[in-house]
Chain A
C-alpha cells in the first residue's frame, strides 16, 4: 500500500509518541516501588513535620526569598543605571561589581557577609540578625544577575521613547521614571521570575549562618528531621513545599505577562 506523504508523516509521529510512552512505562514498571516508598514516603514521618514545616520552615523560606529579592532588585536597578551612565567611573564600578559577584558562589558570599562583616566592623552589626544577613548575603549575588537583566530591559525600550519624553520637556530622570523604566520592567518580568525562583532555592544555603529553631528554613528543617528519623522522607516533603512556592509564582507571572501583552 502506498501512503501519501502527509499520512506517512502522521504515522511516524504517532509511532514516536508510542515509543516515548512505552519507555516511561518500562522505567516505572522496572522500579522497586515498595522499597522506594519505604524510603521516601513514610506517612508518619511526613506527618510529624507538620505544622512546623509550614508555620516556621516554609514561612522563613518565603521571608528570606522576598527580603533578598527586594534588596537585590533595588541594588540591581542602581547597578543597571550605573552601567548605562555616561559617567565612566560609574560604569567601571558597576561592571566590576557585576563580574565579581556573578563569578562567586552564593554560598561564599553568604559566608563572607555572615562572618566577615562582624569581623570587619566589630562595633556594629547588620540589623535584623540572621534575616538581615540573609537579605544582604543572598541579595548581593542576586543584584549582580538582576542588574544585567534590567540593563537589557532598559536597552530594549526603543530610543524614541526617551526622545519623545525629553521633547515634552521632561528631565532625563523624570523620563526614566515615568516612561522608560515602566516599559523596561514589563519586558524583564519573565527573566526576573527566573531570578526569584533561583533565589527561593538559594535560601537553602542559609544554614551556613547557623539557624535557630525559629529562623530555620525548609532544607535545613528537612535535613534535621532526616538525621533524627534516619529516613529521607522529609526531603520529599520539603521538595513539595518548594513547589508550593514556585508553581503559583509562575501563574502570577503568566497573568502579568498577559496583561502586559494587551498594552503593548
Chain B
C-alpha cells in the first residue's frame, strides 16, 4: 500500500486555481522532492496531504485512509504525519523540551517520564540535547528547525512532510538541517520534501517531481530530471536555478546596454 496516493487533486483559492489535477503516489521508504518555481503549487500540494488546506476536489489517501472523506478522523491521521514548516513554528512560550513533549502528553497520552525519555532520544538525534531547557527565541534558525524536526519525530510518524525547511535560514545554517534530513532518509523514513536545495534533491531523493502552474510537468529519478530533463519548462527552470550567473538579458527581456 502506498504511503500517499493522490488522485486528480484540484485546489482553488477563490478564482485562482493553484492545483490543476495532481496525480502522485509516494511509496514507503521513498524520499520524494518537489521542485519548481514560486507559485507553482508545491506548498499547497504538501498542505493538502494533512488537510491544512481543504482540496476543492480529488482524492488523497494516506496509508489507505481517505483524508477528504467527511467521516475521516483527521486528528488521528495527522498524528502519523510529521510536518516541518519554513518558519519553524516552534511554540514560543515553551522550552525546547516542552515543545517536544507537549503533543506526546496531550495527544498520545504518554506519561511525563516516557515523553521526556522520547524527547531526549529525539533531541539527541538532531544534536540538541544541551539546548533542551532553552526557549526557541534563544536558538539560531538552524537549531530551531532541528528542534521542530525532533518535535515531529517524537510522535513516531510514518511519513514526514517538509515545507521548504531551509528557505528561511541564513546560508551557513542550511547544512545542519540538511544533515539531519539526510540522516532521516538513510534510516528509511518516508519523506515528501518541497525544497529549493537542488543539491540535496539530487543526492538524497529517490524521485524528483517538477511542478509548474499547478501541474506536475515531469518526474523521475534525480539523474533523469537533472541530467536529461525531457520538458522545456524543466530545462528553463533548472538553468535559472543552477546557473543564475548565466541567465542572459535577452532571455528575460531586459535591455540594460545598447
| Residues of B with C-beta under 8 A to A183 | 91-93
B93 contacts A186, CB within 8 Å?
Answer: yes
A263 contacts B135, CB within 8 Å?
Answer: yes
Chain A interface bracket (under 10, 10 to 19, 20 to 34, 35 or more): 20 to 34
Q: Which of B5-13, B35-43, B78-86, B111-119 contacts A (4 or more CB under 8 A)?
A: B78-86
B75 contacts A170, CB within 8 Å?
Answer: yes
Query: A125 near B: Cβ within 8 Å?
Result: no
Query: A182 near B: Cβ within 8 Å?
Result: yes
Query: A191 near B: Cβ within 8 Å?
Result: no
A161 contacts B89, CB within 8 Å?
Answer: yes
A163 contacts B89, CB within 8 Å?
Answer: yes
A168 contacts B85, CB within 8 Å?
Answer: no
The CA of A263 and the CA of B138, in the complex, are separated in Å by: 8
A263 contacts B93, CB within 8 Å?
Answer: yes
Select one of A160, A166, A167, A174 contacting B106, CB under 8 A: A174
Chain A contact residues: helix, strand, loop or mixed: helix
B135 contacts A169, CB within 8 Å?
Answer: no
Query: A178 near B: Cβ within 8 Å?
Result: yes
* Interface membership of chain B positions 119-151, coded 1 if the CB is closer than 8 angstroms to chain A and 0 otherwise: 000000000000000010100000000001001
A163 contacts B85, CB within 8 Å?
Answer: yes
B92 contacts A166, CB within 8 Å?
Answer: no
A178 contacts B102, CB within 8 Å?
Answer: yes
Name the distance in Å between B205's Cβ and chain A's nearest Cβ: 23
B91 contacts A164, CB within 8 Å?
Answer: yes
| Residues of A with C-beta under 8 A to B83 | 164, 167
Query: A7 near B: Cβ within 8 Å?
Result: no
The CA of A169 and the CA of B152, in the complex, are separated in Å by: 11
- The count of residues in chain B whose C-beta lies closer than 8 Å to any C-beta of chain A is 27
A167 contacts B52, CB within 8 Å?
Answer: yes
| Residues of A with C-beta under 8 A to B152 | 167-168
Query: B179 near A: Cβ within 8 Å?
Result: no
Q: Which of A210-264 contact B (CB under 8 A)?
A: 262-264
Query: A85 near B: Cβ within 8 Å?
Result: no
Query: B103 near A: Cβ within 8 Å?
Result: yes
Query: B107 near A: Cβ within 8 Å?
Result: yes
Query: A179 near B: Cβ within 8 Å?
Result: yes
Select one of B75, B106, B108, B135 contacting A178, CB under 8 A: B106
Name the distance in Å between B218's Cβ and chain A's nearest Cβ: 29
| Residues of A with C-beta under 8 A to B219 | none
Query: B87 near A: Cβ within 8 Å?
Result: yes
Query: B166 near A: Cβ within 8 Å?
Result: no
Name the distance in Å between A40's Cβ and chain B's nearest Cβ: 48
Query: A118 near B: Cβ within 8 Å?
Result: no
B91 contacts A179, CB within 8 Å?
Answer: yes
Query: B155 near A: Cβ within 8 Å?
Result: yes
Select one of A160, A165, A170, A263 contacting B87, CB under 8 A: A160
Name the distance in Å between A159's Cβ and chain B's nearest Cβ: 9
B107 contacts A160, CB within 8 Å?
Answer: no
Q: Which residue of B lies closest to A157 (CB)?
A: B92
Name the distance in Å between A201's Cβ and chain B's nearest Cβ: 32
The CA of A202 and the CA of B92, in the complex, are separated in Å by: 36
The CA of A164 and the CA of B103, in the complex, are separated in Å by: 10
B75 contacts A171, CB within 8 Å?
Answer: yes
Query: A89 near B: Cβ within 8 Å?
Result: no
The CA of A179 and the CA of B136, in the complex, are separated in Å by: 14
| Residues of B with C-beta under 8 A to A167 | 50, 52, 78, 81-83, 152
Q: Which residue of A lies closest to B82 (CB)?
A: A167
Q: Which residue of B lies closest to A163 (CB)?
A: B52
| Residues of A with C-beta under 8 A to B135 | 262-264
User: Taking A164-B85, A174-B106, A178-B102 as contacts, is the C-beta distance between A169 and B92 under 8 angstroms?
Assistant: no
Query: B256 near A: Cβ within 8 Å?
Result: no
* Interface membership of chain A positions 176-195, coded 1 if the CB is closer than 8 angstroms to chain B and 0 otherwise: 00110011001000000000
Query: B76 near A: Cβ within 8 Å?
Result: yes
Name the distance in Å between B160's Cβ and chain A's nearest Cβ: 11
9 A-B pairs (CB sep. < 8 Å): A161-B92, A167-B81, A167-B83, A168-B79, A169-B103, A169-B107, A182-B93, A183-B92, A263-B92
- 10 nearest A-B residue pairs (beta carbon): A169-B79, A168-B103, A164-B89, A160-B89, A167-B83, A169-B107, A169-B78, A263-B135, A182-B93, A169-B75
Known contacts A161-B92, A164-B148, A169-B103, then 4 further A-B pairs from the complex at CB < 8 Å, ordered by chain A residue: A164-B83, A169-B155, A178-B106, A263-B137
